[in-house]
Amino acid sequence: MTITLPIDLESRVQAAVRSGQFSSIDDAMAEAARLLIRELDQVRIPPQADGDDLATDPILGLMRDDIELIDEIVADAYRVRQPGNDVFYRRYISYLNDRRVDELGEFVLEEPTYNGKPMTRLDYQDLIAGNIAAIPDLYFDVALLVVEGDQIACRLNFDCTPRSKFLGLQPNGKSISFSEHVFYNLRDGKIDEVRSLLDRPAIESQMAV
């Protein structure tokens, strides 16, 4: 099943806030993320075919194309967020921002899964390191964090300037801004599964030559 995130999700969230269903954008996105975790937990994402090259699309995740589902997620009533592994996750992000990518053994299991594809922790570290190599000023800004037990949802904001090929796109020398929604499952206190949702059209439009 191919999962696609509507490119107008943020405008729909803003409309929900303006209508009074939520008091803030963060509240609406928190509920959307929490419910999407629950929904995705029921979905078995098929592994990528052998030969797929993660390096050609290092961040791009599987996305959901069911707009009605997104509308239902955003419209659902806001629920109390539960603290848990937020400290763990923020420490993990600090390692990425401090470029300590080769020290992720404290946070990631030896054989995690990324968007349904099994890999080693070293593969995962190389994937992140490749992004940093392409975008030296890449900074992982935690804009929204939702934790429920061993499940984490985060919206990461990026404002950066690609210096080499990124997502298969050549840099044009201009800065770009985009968000990534990432969903994690933890096992034994470490990251076991990662699902990444990214608005690629927005990046492509900003990197157009």
Spatial distance between the Cα atoms of 135 and 103, rounded to a whole number of angstroms? 20
Domain-ending residue, one of 75, 105, 127: 75
What's the pLDDT tens digit per position in 182-193? Answer: 999 999 999 999
Same domain (yes/no): 52, 105: no
Q: List the single range of 69-78, 92-101, 119-128, 200-209 with lowest mean pLDDT.
A: 69-78
Domain that holds residue 192: 86-206
Q: What are phi and psi of 132, to 5 degrees?
A: -65, -35
Domain-ending residue, one of 55, 75, 95: 75
pLDDT at 72 over 80: no
| Start-end of H helices in the chain | 9-18, 25-41, 67-75, 86-97, 121-134, 200-206
What's the pLDDT tens digit per position in 108-161? Answer: 999 999 999 999 999 999 999 999 999 999 999 999 999 988 999 999 999 999
- The whole-number pLDDT of residue 40 equals 57
Q: What is the mean pLDDT of residues 34-57?
A: 52
Domain-ending residue, one of 37, 53, 75: 75
Spatial distance between the Cα atoms of 24 and 29, rounded to a whole number of angstroms? 9
Residue 171: inside a domain, yes or no?
Answer: yes
* 54-58, 87-91, 197-201, range with greatest mean pLDDT: 87-91
Question: How would you label 79-116 residue by residue, b for 16+ Cβ within 10 Å and e otherwise?
Answer: eebeebbbebbeebbebbeeeebeebeebbbeebbbbb
How many secondary structure helices (H) and strands (E) does the chain include? 6, 6
Q: How confident is the model at residue 63 (pLDDT cuts 50, 70, 90)?
A: very low
pLDDT at 166 over 80: yes
Same domain (yes/no): 90, 43: no
Q: How many folded domains does the chain comprise?
A: 2
Residue 1: inside a domain, yes or no?
Answer: no
